[in-house]
Amino acid sequence: MADSFDPQDMIRRFQERAQAVRSRPLPPVGGDERTLFIEQAKLDFQDFAMVGDAQAILEDGILTLRIDLRPPGGE
């Protein structure tokens, strides 16, 4: 698998997923179901966006994702 796996393609797919979550319309639900849907969408976006921002390195069959979680301007 490592020979045909491109980590940058994986990163791009996660970026696309994050955008899809951000632009997906709310279903016609209300109340608690609406709140749960919105909270899940926030988590989905956060997770996909974090991986989408990662620097991926595939070395000796080991995939390493480096994600900088520091606030902008923080060192």
Tens digit of each residue's pLDDT (9 = 90 or more) over 16-69: 999 999 999 988 888 999 999 999 999 999 999 999 999 999 999 999 999 999
Residue 41, domain extent: 7-66
| Alpha carbon 21 to chain centroid, angstroms | 10
**pLDDT above 80 (res 13):** yes
Asked whether residue 20 is assigned to any structural domain, the reply reads: yes
Asked whether residue 23 is assigned to any structural domain, the reply reads: yes
| Confidence label for 2 from pLDDT (cuts 50, 70 and 90) | low
Asked whether residue 71 is assigned to any structural domain, the reply reads: no
For residues 51 and 67, what is the distance between their CA atoms, to the nearest angstrom? 7
Asked whether residue 73 is assigned to any structural domain, the reply reads: no
10 Å CB burial of residue 17 (0-12, 13-18, 19+) is middle
Q: Where do we find the tokens 């698998």?
A: 1
Please state the domain count of the chain: 1
Query: For residues 21 and 1, which has the higher predicted lDDT (pLDDT)?
Result: 21
